[in-house]
Amino acid sequence: MNSKEVMDAFDKYVVNTGARFPVVYDHAEGAKVWDKDGKEYIEMCAGYGANSLGYADPEWLDAVCAQLKKFQHTSNLYYHEIGAVVAQKLAERSGMKKVFFANSGGEANEAAYKIARKYGNTIADVHKNSILYMQTSFHGRTISETASTGSYPGMDAKFGPLTPGFFPVVINDIDDLKKQVAEHNPCAIIMELVQGEGGVIALDQAFVDAAVKLCHDNDILFIDDEVQAGIGRTGTFFTYEQYGFKPDIVSFAKGIGGGLPIGGVLTNEKTCDVLSPGEHGSTFGMNPAACAGANVVLDKMDEAFLADVRKKADYLRGELMKIDEVESLSGLGMMIGVNFKTKDYTQVVQELCENGVLAITTHGRLRLLPPLTITKEEMDQALQVFRKVLG
């Protein structure tokens, strides 16, 4: 098929849930992608951040292929070594206790909600099961996540009735947070420390501190959705490290598999034994090939790797700010929101694409989630295009 035939087949046979750019991937390496017509792009969005090690990382490829040759899948009725290895590394790395593996961020948050509700219904002293979320949040696409996602309003009318028991809080508004806690007696509060879809917004330290204290004082679980912000993206392995606290549940996905579908929740002493056999599960969860990829991601993301991510983020942010049209940057580390003085971000993202840079948008601004392994040369190539498009 040529590019046009591929795009036509998508139009005809694929349910249209994505506003796609006219780029048909052929192959990719590092942060570079070549389309079917041979045009080269620098990927500054890394598959929404999932391709944390970029493309064709040799060790990642070897580990995944080697596992595929041994066996590609089993169920939760049996044990396998690679799952044990990845679970142990995740727990040790995070300081959390145990992990439940699923295949995506959406499934990770569903698991978090089930743990929180069972905790509230059966373990917490006061029977409680409502969950607070942030008004500009994004937590996924299931019916419960749609009920707790504020960044795509109007969904209730289309997909309702949504799961009841979820209530919004205005971000960075401590008074509203206290009010909602008093009103709804929640079993959990979920937040992204750096909101992705909601606009690449890092929450205020004081707000997070207040939430941590409220959770502690009222036996409320703090669910930290690090599906986008976790796994090295913001310059530490998890973003909660920078905020100086430990959540009760951390959901993760995107970057952990290096591009393979894997996600899950990490639990602490309060939450690790809430679920019992038969109450939750996933056919593909803890898939051995995905675990083999995650194992390489975990091994590569040592302190030196993370220091390098921070250095590269500083460089990229510094160079972007030198461009006159750039008004300000948001987010943390390699999770970058870009505001323009006069230009329309949806127009900019189109022009970047035409000129060989793949970037994405979020509510109100441009968003960059480059592979964490992007090289200085690749960043410079992208910056050259930014200067041209924004000049």
Ligand X SMILES: *Cc1c(COP(=O)(O)O)cnc(C)c1O
Q: Closest residue (Cβ) to ligand X?
A: 105
> Which of 83, 140, 258, 293 contacts ligand X by CB under 6 A?
140
Nearer to ligand X, 131 or 390 (CB): 131
Give one DSSP letter per residue of 117-174, joined into a string: HHIIIIISSS---EEEEETT----SSHHHHHT--SSTTHHHHHPSPPS-EEEE-TT-H
Shortest gap between Cβ of 321 and ligand X (angstroms)? Answer: 25
Nearer to ligand X, 30 or 105 (CB): 105
Angle, helices 205-218 vs 174-184, to 10°: value is: 20
Binding residues among 249-268 for ligand X as defined by CB under 6 A: 253, 263
Shortest gap between Cβ of 208 and ligand X (angstroms)? Answer: 15
Give CA–CA dist 180/132, Å, rounded: 8
Find the length of the chain: 391
Nearer to ligand X, 228 or 381 (CB): 228
Nearer to ligand X, 260 or 326 (CB): 260
Span interacting with ligand X, options 39-47, 102-110, 121-129, 164-172, rule CB under 6 A: 102-110
> Which of 30, 54, 83, 106 contacts ligand X by CB under 6 A?
106
Q: Strand pairing of 263-267 and 98-102?
A: antiparallel
Nearer to ligand X, 30 or 196 (CB): 196
- Per-residue CA distances from 328 to 16, 247, 268, 337 (Å): 33, 30, 37, 8
**Is residue 101 near ligand X by the rule CB under 6 A?**
no
Shortest gap between Cβ of 252 and ligand X (angstroms)? Answer: 10
**Is residue 32 near ligand X by the rule CB under 6 A?**
no
Nearer to ligand X, 31 or 256 (CB): 256
Span interacting with ligand X, options 123-131, 134-142, 165-173, 332-340, rule CB under 6 A: 134-142
Amino acid at the residue 59 = E
The alpha helices in 162-270, defined as continuous H runs, are: 174-184, 205-218, 240-243
Torsion from C-alpha of 145, 289, 98, 373, nearest 10 degrees: -80
Nearer to ligand X, 128 or 367 (CB): 367
**Is residue 138 near ligand X by the rule CB under 6 A?**
yes
Tell me the backbone φ, ψ of residue 115, rounded to 5 degrees.
-60, -45
Give CA–CA dist 333/236, Å, rounded: 9
Give CA–CA dist 34/29, Å, rounded: 9
Torsion from C-alpha of 217, 223, 228, 232, nearest 10 degrees: 60
Binding residues among 210-229 for ligand X as defined by CB under 6 A: 225, 227-228
Shortest gap between Cβ of 113 and ligand X (angstroms)? Answer: 12
Nearer to ligand X, 83 or 196 (CB): 196
> Which of 196, 247, 255, 288 contacts ligand X by CB under 6 A?
196
Nearer to ligand X, 326 or 372 (CB): 372
Shortest gap between Cβ of 200 and ligand X (angstroms)? Answer: 11
Q: Strand (E) positions, 282-376?
A: 326-332, 335-340, 357-358, 360-362, 365-368
Shortest gap between Cβ of 151 and ligand X (angstroms)? Answer: 10
> Which of 54, 83, 105, 255 contacts ligand X by CB under 6 A?
105
Shortest gap between Cβ of 292 and ligand X (angstroms)? Answer: 19
Tell me the backbone φ, ψ of residue 35, rounded to 5 degrees.
-90, 180
**Is residue 139 near ligand X by the rule CB under 6 A?**
yes
| Nearest residue to 260 via CA among 226, 238, 288, 279 | 288
Give CA–CA dist 99/81, Å, rounded: 15
> Which of 51, 52, 94, 104 contacts ligand X by CB under 6 A?
104
Query: Where does this chain bind ligand X (CB under 6 A)?
Result: 104-106, 109, 138-140, 192, 196, 225, 227-228, 253, 263
